[in-house]
Chains A and B, each alone.
Chain A
Amino acid sequence: MVSIFPVHPTFSSYEKLLSDSQFWRSFMISVERVGLGLIVNMSLMILAAYPLSKSSKQFRAQKVYMNIVIIAMLFSGGLIPTFMVVKGLHLLDSIWALILPGAVAVGNVILLMNAFRAVPKSLEEAATIDGASQWRILSTIYVPVVLPTIATVTLFTIVGHWNDYFGALVYINKTSNYPLQTYIQQLSIDAQNITDPQKLIEYAKISNRTLNAAKIVVSTLPLLLIYPFMQKYFVTGIVVGSLKE
């Protein structure tokens, strides 16, 4: 009998969780993935968005690059050809297979680009007169000014990496190398391997008892911790990114 409220609250499942070595291994893989992904993705996207935000008068090849980015956004080879490329590069089973293919998220680049565009031109002109290079202008003027948008994109990137289960399902063969969400997902997906309808009805009847609710709580905890601090940024970010002019 299961009731709406927990009948006998206990911490025994948390105690059991602490001794589940695969859970913690997956947890650490997810942490590593977020850390590496954040550094690689954010630096790539900021560096790409800045020149793209320039007018074609200031950066002659801007239109060419912009077209490349938009084509990459519109067309894709799809799941299977992308898988073959990752396989061809011998990235399967490595953490880089989870980070590199989606490293340049075009939507986020456009969000950053629009933020850079909104920075007053006079700031850059003043710096140019002082002899600053574009690298210096980007790092000391533009990045600090658009920090709210960068925070938004950072949150999106963290959430994206932390929540992704599918990448590992496709690119990682060893289950011991699964990140946390894929590990969690495997707990619930048992149903898909049952082909006998009768058994499936049985399965649907019982709530999945093998499933450890504690694992879910722990897996969302890191997100719940950063979320309140990021909220005001992502609201501004969405508004700036979607309601232009």
Chain B
Amino acid sequence: MKNKKDQTAFHLMLAPSMVFLIIFSFIPMFGIVMAFQNYIPAKGISGSPWVGLDNFKFMFQIPDSRQILINTMVIAIWKIIVGTFVSIVFALLLNEIRVRFAKKFMQTVVYLPNFLSWAVLATVVMNIFSYEGPVNALLGWLGIDPILFMASNHWFRPMLVLTDVWKGFGYGSIIYLASLTAIDPGLYEASSIDGANRFKQLWYVTLPGLMPTILLVTTLNLPNVLNAGFDQIFNLYNPLVYATSDIIDTYVYRVGLVERQYSLGTAIGLLRSVVGIVLILSANKLAQKFTDYRIF
């Protein structure tokens, strides 16, 4: 009797969320059929003609599509590699700081950019790296010609990686800092008795202790190889650097919503989600195999 009342309570608690998930997550899934149609807004999904795989064929014929895929993966992989590296190094350095106040202060400062939006940061970045901005002023002072950082296909990608890592490395280091505190202090004592200096301890005790976390975080980053960061690129790029910075997500936005080619946009989006799901499931399996961790 009592338990039945509990069950009802649980169902009621979940009901509103389920309604929202059905409306905004599950119903749009049926919209995927648009990818197999020549969707005409006036006729709706039920009235638009079926075209089978034409949208997908067309997608592979667009000369840009190869470039977009390459851009997406190159930018994303560089971000993951540099971001992980900087986060780990920062966590290790911070761990060596013994003054509590200095440590806390530094953490506050480096975590902060993660909470600012790209809409705001992009305007700041663009000003700093503009033709007459501080960076070029400094370069001019050193006798170097000004560089059009944000309009050059040579510089734009490194700028994307650099600014993304700057925004995220502090936040990314939190998890490494947490696992550093879990390393057995006895190991440090033992190693110092054996005559290991600070650097040797770092190499033989700290890094191996950190390895499971590094492995786990890297594995969980796997699904992000198709996620090069829409917000950042969308706010920073311009037609001059499309060649090196147009990614799947920005392309879907322009083709699908700006140019209103709903079917093509949906088809590209669908392909991206399918690959994304495969990557998430693989990451989950890998993480489970190597580190006994499950995302779900």
Contact = CB atoms under 8 A, between A and B. Distances in A.
Interface of A: 1-4, 44-45, 47-48, 50-52, 54, 58-62, 65, 68-86, 89, 100-104, 109-110, 128, 133-135, 138, 159, 162-166, 170, 181-182, 184-185, 187-189, 191-192, 194-195, 197, 200-201, 203-208, 211, 213, 216, 219-220, 223-224, 227-228, 231, 235, 238-239, 242-244
Interface of B: 2, 5-7, 9-11, 13-14, 16-18, 20-21, 23-32, 34, 107-108, 111-112, 115-117, 119-120, 122-124, 126-127, 130-134, 137-138, 148, 150-151, 174-175, 178-179, 213, 230-231, 234-235, 237-240, 252-253, 256-257, 262, 265-266, 269-270, 272-273, 277, 280-281, 293, 296
B148 A4 contact: no
B10 A228 contact: no
Given A2-B132, A220-B120, 8 more contacts: A84-B28, A133-B9, A135-B9, A166-B234, A182-B119, A205-B148, A239-B174, A243-B179
Q: Taking chain A's interface residues, is the majority helix, strand, or loop, or is none over half, making it mixed?
A: helix
Given A76-B273, A192-B238, A208 B253 contact: no
Nearest to A82: B28
Nearest to B171: A238
Contacts of B151: 200-201, 203-204
Nearest to A59: B10
Contacts of B131: 204-207
A205 B127 contact: no
Contacts of B127: 207-208, 211, 213
Contacts of A58: 6
A76 B20 contact: no
Q: Taking chain B's interface residues, is the majority helix, strand, or loop, or is none over half, making it mixed?
A: helix
